[in-house]
């Protein structure tokens, strides 16, 4: 079964007449060198830098979608449900460094279930896609740097299960880039929307973009703020992606089954609005990092999967070994 829709994206097909390891290696090396591929990647890179996200409709074949949904329906009852509060930064509140009214300490509710990577079968289409070297090469080309698969045994590739009334409040991901795949939408098409701002945080995890984040929450999360004034919010932040207006834009994704989204999730504030209707919204979340050995923190693992499972020790030892010159 083909997973990637090569009819819609012929430049993603790897042409090999016979299958030997070497032939496969050569095909992957020449992969993405066609003019069509270069053009599509340049356009995607521009879009990602400007708006924090870029998406590819019908990236998955219908067979792959159906297969994934069938497996997930069978495993849905295993999915752990988180039902609590978190800050936009998914970090612990810190009253010693940030004031009571700081957006850093502002908590919002989220209710979502998630099927962890180790709950997917060994032949799951999502597992196969996550390990397809074409996907890693494509994403590295789009973001303009070498990316690595995550070593998080739970969160490297997981599936969000949004049942009726579930929602995910505004947050930044810990992982730098996420790829999400819509598998099944909510019954009510005006619900379960994926919304994201332009990139607000510019450099690294130390850049909290407190002003911009507070401004975005004031503009787009009135319910979550409940009349509260966040202290950083002076409505005057500057951000290259929002030149002129001084307001972070909020985009709503046209997220249909089979759509693949590349999101700068640690830079763009994003949320999923409340689900209405009977059907669960199912979205796969595949994570990538710009250094090897990435894992979500134990705290974030516990929040989303109800347990923490650290990357294999041999992998960590290798990464932490001193470099001998
Ligand atoms: O379900 C989605 O569309 C993405 C949710 C999200 O932001 C996340 O899982 O971090
Ligand atoms: Fe997220």
Shortest-distance atom of ligand 1 to CA 283: 1
Asked if the model's pLDDT at residue 160 lies above 70, the reply is: yes
Q: Is residue 325 assigned to a domain?
A: no
The answer to the question of residue 60 being in a domain is yes
Q: Is residue 204 part of a domain?
A: yes
Residue 244 has pLDDT above 50, yes or no: no
> Measured from the CA of 255, which atom of ligand 1 is nearest?
3
pLDDT class for 243, splitting at 50, 70, 90? very low
pLDDT > 60? residue 245:
no
Look at residue 23 and tell me whether its pLDDT is greater than 80: no
Q: Which of 86, 171, 285, 301 to mutate to test the pocket of ligand 1 (most atoms within 8 A of CB)?
A: 285
Pairing of β 250-252 and β 107-115:
unpaired
Determine the average pLDDT of the residues in 263-291.
95
Instruction: Output the CA 53–ligand 2 centroid distance in Å.
Output: 12
Mean pLDDT of 115-120: 96
pLDDT over 90 (residue 176) = no
Mean pLDDT of 87-107: 94
Asked if the model's pLDDT at residue 173 lies above 70, the reply is yes
Written as six digits, the tokens of 241 are 């992606």
What pTM, to 2 d.p., does this model score? Answer: 0.90
> If you measure from the C-alpha of residue 172 to the centroid of ligand 1, how many angstroms do you get, rounded to a whole number?
10
Among protein residues, the one whose CA lies closest to atom 7 of ligand 1:
271
Instruction: Give mean pLDDT, residues 277-296.
Output: 93
**Cα–Cα dist 129/276, whole Å:** 30
Residue 107: inside a domain = yes
pLDDT at 258: 98
Whether 14 and 68 have beta carbons less than 8 Å apart is answered as no
Write the DSSP string, 260-318: EEEE-TTTEEEEEPPP-SSSPEEEEEEEEESSTT----HHHHHHHHSS--PPPHHHHHH
Q: Is residue 20 part of a domain?
A: no
DSSP letter assigned to residue 171: E
Does residue 163 belong to any structural domain of this protein? yes
216 pLDDT higher than 80: yes
- Average per-residue pLDDT for the chain: 89
Asked if the model's pLDDT at residue 235 lies above 70, the reply is no
In the predicted model, what is the mean pLDDT of residues 153-157? 96
Enclosing domain of residue 255: 38-319
pLDDT attached to residue 14: 85
Measured CA to CA, the distance from residue 117 to residue 284 in angstroms comes to 10
167 alpha carbon, closest ligand? 1
88, 90, 167, 168, best to mutate for ligand 1 pocket (most atoms within 8 Å of CB): 168
Ligand 1 environment, Cβ below 6 A = 160, 168, 173, 180, 194, 270, 272, 283, 285
Q: Mind listing the pLDDT tens digit for each residue in 180-190? A: 999 999 999 99
Residue 25 has a pLDDT of 61
Q: What CATH number is associated with residue 306?
A: 2.60.120.620
**Ligand 2 center from residue 173 Cα (angstroms):** 5
pLDDT band at 240 (very low <50, low <70, confident <90, very high): very low
Instruction: Check whether 323 has a pLDDT greater than 60.
Output: no
Q: Which pLDDT does position 312 carry in this prediction?
A: 76
Pocket of ligand 1, candidates 82, 160, 173, 175: which has the most ligand atoms within 8 Å of its Cβ, to mutate?
A: 160
Q: Among residues 25, 220, 20, which one has the least CA distance to residue 103?
A: 220
The structure tokens listed for 246 are: 């001084």
Please list, residue by residue across 296-309, b when 16 or more beta carbons sit within 10 angstroms of its beta carbon and e when fewer do. Answer: beeebbbbbbeebb
Q: In the structure, what pLDDT confidence band is assigned to residue 26 with cuts at 50, 70 and 90?
A: low
Q: Which pLDDT belongs to residue 53?
A: 94
**The pLDDT of residue 201:** 92
What's the average model confidence in pLDDT over 143-163? 95
Spacing, Cα 64 to ligand 1 middle (Å)? 20
- Report the domain count for the chain: 1
| Å from CA of 316 to ligand 1 middle | 27
Q: Is residue 275 part of a domain?
A: yes
CA of 281, closest atom in ligand 1? 1
265 alpha carbon to ligand 2 midpoint, in Å? 6
């Amino acid at each position: 079964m083909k997973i990637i829709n090569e009819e819609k994206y012929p430049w993603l097909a790897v042409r090999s007449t016979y299958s030997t390891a070497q032939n496969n290696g050569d095909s992957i090396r020449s992969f993405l060198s066609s003019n069509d591929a270069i053009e599509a990647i340049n356009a995607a890179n521009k879009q990602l830098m400007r708006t924090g996200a870029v998406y590819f409709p019908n990236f998955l074949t219908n067979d792959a979608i159906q297969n994934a949904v069938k497996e997930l329906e069978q495993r849905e009852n295993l999915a752990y449900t988180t039902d609590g509060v978190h800050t936009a930064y998914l970090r612990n509140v810190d009253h010693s460094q940030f004031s009571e009214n700081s957006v850093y300490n502002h908590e919002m509710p989220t209710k979502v279930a998630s099927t962890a990577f180790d709950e997917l079968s060994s032949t799951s289409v999502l597992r196969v896609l996550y390990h397809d070297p074409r996907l890693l090469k494509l994403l590295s080309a789009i973001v303009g740097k070498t990316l690595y698969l995550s070593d998080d045994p739970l969160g490297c590739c997981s599936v969000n299960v949004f049942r009726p009334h579930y929602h995910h409040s505004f947050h930044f991901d810990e992982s730098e880039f996420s790829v999400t795949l819509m598998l099944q939408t909510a019954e009510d098409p005006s619900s379960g929307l994926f919304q994201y701002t332009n990139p607000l945080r510019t450099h690294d995890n130390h850049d909290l973009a407190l002003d911009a984040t507070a401004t975005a929450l004031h503009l787009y999360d009135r319910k979550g703020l409940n009349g509260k004034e966040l202290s950083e919010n002076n409505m005057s932040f500057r951000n290259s992606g929002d030149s002129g207006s001084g307001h972070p834009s909020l985009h709503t994704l046209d997220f249909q089954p089979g759509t693949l989204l590349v999101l700068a999730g640690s830079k763009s504030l994003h949320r999923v609005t409340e689900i209405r209707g009977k059907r669960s919204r199912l979205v796969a979340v595949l994570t990538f990092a710009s250094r090897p050995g990435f894992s979500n923190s134990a705290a974030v693992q516990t929040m989303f999967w109800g347990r923490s499972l650290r990357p294999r020790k041999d992998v960590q030892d290798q990464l932490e070994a001193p470099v001998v010159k």
